[in-house]
Amino acid sequence: MRYFIVNGVVPSYDGFSTRLGGSTDLITRKKAYKTLGLAIPKLGERFIYRLDRMGSFSVLTYDVDQSNLIIKSRSQKNAYCLANSFRAVLGVYFGLFIPWQRHDWLLYELSRSPSNVTTFKELTSLIKPMTDYERLSEMDLRVSLGSGCGLFDEQLIWSCQFIGHLQKSHDRFLQAMLHLLHSHYILPNDMTGSYYEFHYSRDRKEESTNLRMKRRFEAQIEYDLAFLSAFRAIESLLKCNNWKGRSIDLLIRQFDKKMGTSFAKTKYECFHVIFSGWKKYWNYAEIIDKFLLMRNSVAAHSPLKRAYSLNEDHVYEIQYFVQTMISDALLD
């Protein structure tokens, strides 16, 4: 069995996502718990969720109340499959984005089980360096592993359960989630329905045409790349990257037969139609064909003069569309 720390995630304890007392001093933090009448967290490893044949998630607590997410797996490949799935679910469904930095690692491997670790110094002694020159100092590791997305138990458990659905299904879903996550990294969209309805849409309506065009000119490349990443997610779901001569309706029916869904018979409801000028309800094949035409325009498959000029609403719509397809296929 191999053990890995997930970087960029800070699990909470009893609803607190940061250290009590705001101090690195252990005695001060213990006093903070006593002052609030709370039990001091139990040190060590706490099991969270197990996925058959893949591995398990647990939370390691040390130094009073500092914690990290641990993945146990028999191979590095399986560990990264779980970690990437976890990163995608957090970003797409909770708007919590684990920092994607090339100079840092998503997973740090440990030399043995951390179940008996009670201090950060003990934990750092278990971290395997990737190379001889890559031995990070305790301070660097404390900054790296002590920061990131604060995560409550309910979010952690729901994410693990969703990953269970991903793993029981086909690779198409994980690939689609990762493409969709990358789209969100380029142009995040974690608005709730109420925020979109009562704030975003109303604020946009009050914008002048000049300001709206300025926004488009400023962020055109981001719109294009975010849209293309989201469309790659559709290609992953339908297992199709060559659309020439392909029937989208047939691809939808094949997907329904494979996954037990009914997209070929149901309508998709657009949410970001205020500025796109699109109709409210679409057949799934019809709107994918619309996205395909836009993708061809953006990806220079069409003449130099664009048939479509994307704005943020087009990107938000395709992101929401992919998220809806994945959720309906896995959770319904």
pLDDT in tens, 284-294: 999 999 999 88
Q: What is the DSSP string of 45-82?
A: EEEEEEETTTEEEEEEEETTTEEEEEEEESSHHHHHHH
Label the pairing between strands 9-11 and 149-151: parallel
CA angle 161, 163, 169 (to 5 degrees): 110
pLDDT in tens, 291-332: 998 888 887 655 555 656 788 888 989 999 999 999 998 886
Name the least confident of 148-152, 172-176, 193-197. 193-197
Q: What number is the average pLDDT over the span 240-257?
A: 86
Q: Which has more confidence, 57 or 149?
A: 57
Q: Which has more confidence, 40 or 326?
A: 326
pLDDT of residue 198: 67
DSSP lists the bridge partners of residue 321 as none
pLDDT of residue 76: 94
Q: What number is the average pLDDT over the span 230-240?
A: 93
Q: What number is the average pLDDT over the span 22-50?
A: 79
pLDDT in tens, 77-110: 999 999 999 999 998 888 888 876 655 788 999 9
Asked whether the whole model's pTM tops 0.85, one would answer: no
pLDDT of residue 17: 44
**Judging by beta carbons within 10 Å of its beta carbon (0-12, 13-18, 19+), is residue 126 exposed, middle or buried?**
middle
pLDDT of residue 330: 87
Q: What number is the average pLDDT over the span 192-199?
A: 67
For residue 89, give both structure tokens. Answer: 């679910």
Confidence band, pLDDT 50/70/90 cuts, at residue 31 = confident
Q: What is the DSSP string of 226-259?
A: HHHHHHHHHHHHHT-S--TT--HHHHHHHHHHHH
Q: What number is the average pLDDT over the span 2-25?
A: 71
Q: Going by C-beta distance under 8 Å and a sequence separation of 6 or more, which residues neighbour residue 206?
A: none
